[in-house]
Amino acid sequence: MELCPSIKNILLLDSEGKRIAVKYYSDDWPTNAAKEAFEKAIFTKTQKTNARTEAEITMFENYVVVYKFVQDLHFFVTGGENENEIILATVLQGFFDAVGILLRGTVDKKEALENLDLILLCLDEIVDGGIILETDANVIAGKVASHSIDAGAPLSEQTISQALATAREHLTRSLLK
């Protein structure tokens, strides 16, 4: 028995069951075809449920799946059959809320596709290699937002460390000229 809770995958699908953003942290699905078959099967099983107000939990093919829908997006977090449902639901809620913050409350397929880079960074901040790193949506969104600010952004929109790095870069360039 593992001591640390782990995640098998995190899926963000559209209202037709097609991929928006997915991350697999387990070799339980070795091929892309197996992954797509799992996504289609879990979507088909859950599409008629009413998981819009709060997360739902189901057992599916010996996995615990926690899911929630909003607009035309379907959020899923999958864990092993012995995984704690509350931990999986916390990961799902952190992902769901962080996406809501990053998309400024407009959580739909169009916004998700336009900001896919932020959603993928969000997944990277939540789970790494199946190990849960963070579940607080504000912390996740803050880290993602700090990664997405470029050096050309105004100093008022940068953190202190980013501003110092930008200043150091400008100083280095001016000294090398």
3-state SS class at 165: helix
**What's the pLDDT score for residue 42?**
92
pLDDT tens-digit readout, 25-45: 988 888 999 999 999 999 998
Determine, yes or no, domain membership for 2: no
Q: What is the mean pLDDT of the chain?
A: 82
Q: What is the pLDDT of residue 133?
A: 86
Calpha distance 138→57 (Å, rounded) = 24
Query: Would you state the pLDDT for residue 153?
Result: 53
Quick check: helix, strand or coil at residue 9? strand
Number of domains in the chain: 1
Instruction: Tell me the pTM.
Output: 0.76
Residue 163, CA distances (Å) to 112, 121, 151, 152, 176 in order: 29, 21, 8, 10, 20
Instruction: Tell me whether residue 60 is in a domain.
Output: yes
The whole-number pLDDT of residue 162 equals: 62
Residue 12 domain flag = yes
Q: Which of 2, 3, 1, 6 is nearest to 132 (CA)?
A: 6
What are the residue ranges in the chain where pLDDT is below 70? 1-2, 147-165, 177
* Residue range of the domain that includes 162: 7-176
pLDDT of 156 reads 52
Is residue 159 a part of any domain in this protein? Answer: yes
> In CATH, what number is assigned to the domain containing residue 66?
3.30.450.60
Would residue 1 count as lying in a domain? no
CA distances to 81, 83, 133, 157, 175 from 145, in Å? 34, 31, 17, 10, 31
